[in-house]
Amino acid sequence: MGYRRAEEILPAEIIEIIQRYVDGENIYIPKKAGNRRQWGSGTSIRQELLHRNRNIYADWQQGAGCAELAGRYFLSEKSIQRIVKDMKCEMQ
């Protein structure tokens, strides 16, 4: 995310109003609700995580324990338990 100078894009009146609340500080202005994209929509991370989670579930079904899977996939045992639980629900 890049920064833009307020003087280049906002009218002076608006800058003066903003300065009443945050004089010289950085602020984040979120996108409008209709312009927001879902997490991971710009990359393949969602598909990669789904593939990983399916592999974890398959390994768990074949008898691997949570501690073993946590070490194999570099996750906490709680994360493995959550993934197994979520995948059980998805597979039904």
53-91 per-position pLDDT tens digit: 999 999 999 999 999 999 999 999 999 999 999 999 988
Q: How far apart are CA 56 and CA 40, in angstroms?
A: 21
Residue 1 belongs to some domain of the structure: no
Count Cα atoms within 13 angstroms, Cβ side, for 53. 18
Task: Say how many domains are in the chain.
Answer: 2
Tell me: do 85 and 49 sit in the same domain.
yes
Q: Which two tokens stand for residue 32?
A: 């409008």
Residue 1 has pLDDT above 70, yes or no: no
Question: Does the predicted TM-score (pTM) go above 0.85?
Answer: no
What integer pLDDT is reported at residue 87 of this predicted model? Answer: 95
What integer pLDDT is reported at residue 37 of this predicted model? Answer: 76
Containing structural domain, residue 56: 45-91
